[in-house]
Amino acid sequence: MVCWALRRVGLARAHLARKASGVCRGHEHQPLGPRPAAPGAPGSAVELLGKSYPQDDYSNLTRKVLSKVGRNLHNQPQHPLWLLKERVKQHFYAQYPGRAGTPLFSVYDDLSPVVTTWQNFDSLLIPADHPSRKKGDNYFLNATHMLRAHTSAHQWDLLRAGLDAFLVVGDVYRRDQIDAQHYPVFHQLEAVRLFSRHQLFAGIKDGENLQLFEQSSRSAHKQETHTLEATKLVEFDLKQTLTRLMTHIFGDGLDVRWVDCYFPFTHPSFEMEINFHGEWLEVLGCGVMEQQLVNSAGAQDRIGWAFGLGLERLAMILYDIPDIRLFWSQDERFLKQFRVPDINQKVTFQPLSKYPAVINDISFWLPRENYTENDFYDLVRTIGGDLVEKVDLIDKFEHPKIPVGTWAVSSLTPH
């Protein structure tokens, strides 16, 4: 028997009284709208942002997720994600002026979240068998189009357009577990900077004799096409840039450490961790861009870095917001806390409710094939909305004689 625990957040008594109206104090249910046609149904299509996408066996968008497309929380003035985005923009504009005093970094925060699978995966050199490509982890409109899983999906196009320093901010979509830290829609901020040989080695002793590229072997410290000198200078600039950014956001005296990691589109790659209130927290991923990606976009004479961070992750740390669902709240008690005259003003979130959670168990049979846990999470989110705080697997049972599947039991919680 498989047991799950679902936590629904709301006022327990208010929820029971208002269940029929679909409104729980502190969380307003949005109308789910018409149910989309079944994926793969002949002639069916998904209408999204003014375009029509024919459905096929890959189509797995839910009404819950479709209702979030176009909300663009990062562009809503005084929203906590907007405040954080503006703080990052302010920092980059002030610290990195370009020619004639104009900003070096251009900002793109209104690009469509609908991308091709080539943009989301292939342009970033993500292998065909990489687990991030799985249908169970992404939202597909069909086999060729999807909701972007990261803002990196726009990297290649912007590089191809001739840009060498830019920020991309937007909503991204991933099928995931249900808890206070995960939501099927969140927001990322991505940055890319490229350097020419002259830009990178300017001011370096004997810089005129140094080169960006060579043909050697790949190691843990560099790519096969990069010189060690170029790699170390790009890495140094990247880490200095990010240390200054985090100091701007969290204040002076911030302890930072770098953890080696792997991304298909950068090498070497790092995760940045900060020590905040005595706890080490991962805040972003970054690295030296894969030269194959840069070359394919037409910038063969340049080398660069890229980083990406989750706005919700940083905002939860910075503003002490305990639950990611709160970012979608339209409750005035939440929103008014972030209406501040100065985007750099310190804000500490004040809880809206002190009611305890209520746990409910449910049980059901599961199919043996074509099922993932994310299918269940999507079902819970579609039916329960943002009332569901957490889902836990408690137990499972495989019937020894009847080959019909697995029995699941689940539990629901309102606080």
pLDDT at 415 over 50: no
> 222-279: per-residue pLDDT in tens?
999 999 999 999 999 999 999 999 999 999 989 999 999 999 999 999 999 999 888 9
Would you state the structure tokens that stand for residue 107, as one six-digit string?
């900002």
Task: Name which residue leads in pLDDT, 17 or 132.
Answer: 132
Bridge partners of 22?
Answer: none
User: Residues 330, 28: contact at Cβ < 8 Å?
Assistant: yes
Other C-beta atoms within 10 Å of 4: how many? 25
- Name the E strands within 103-254: 106-108, 114-116, 145-147, 165-173, 185-195
pLDDT at 26 over 70: no
SS3 158: helix
User: Residues 410, 29: contact at Cβ < 8 Å?
Assistant: no
Mean pLDDT confidence for 183-195: 97
Mean pLDDT confidence for 357-376: 78
What pTM does this model have?
A: 0.82
* Residue 90 Cα distances to 51, 86, 97, 101, 344, angstroms: 34, 6, 11, 14, 10
Model confidence at 360, pLDDT cuts 50, 70, 90, reads confident
Contacts of 149 (CB under 8 A, 6+ apart): 120, 132, 137, 138, 172, 173, 174
Q: Which is it for strands 358-366 and 396-398: parallel, antiparallel or unpaired?
A: unpaired
SS3 99: helix
> 63-116: per-residue pLDDT in tens?
899 999 999 999 999 999 999 999 999 999 999 998 888 999 999 999 999 999
Model confidence at 8, pLDDT cuts 50, 70, 90, reads very low
Model confidence at 14, pLDDT cuts 50, 70, 90, reads very low
Provide the mean pLDDT of the chain.
86
CA–CA separation, 340 vs 345, rounded Å? 7
Model confidence at 347, pLDDT cuts 50, 70, 90, reads very high
317 phi and psi, to 5 degrees?
Answer: -70, -50
* Residue 205 Cα distances to 1, 212, 230, 367, angstroms: 68, 15, 13, 66
Closest CA to 305 of 235, 363, 386: 235
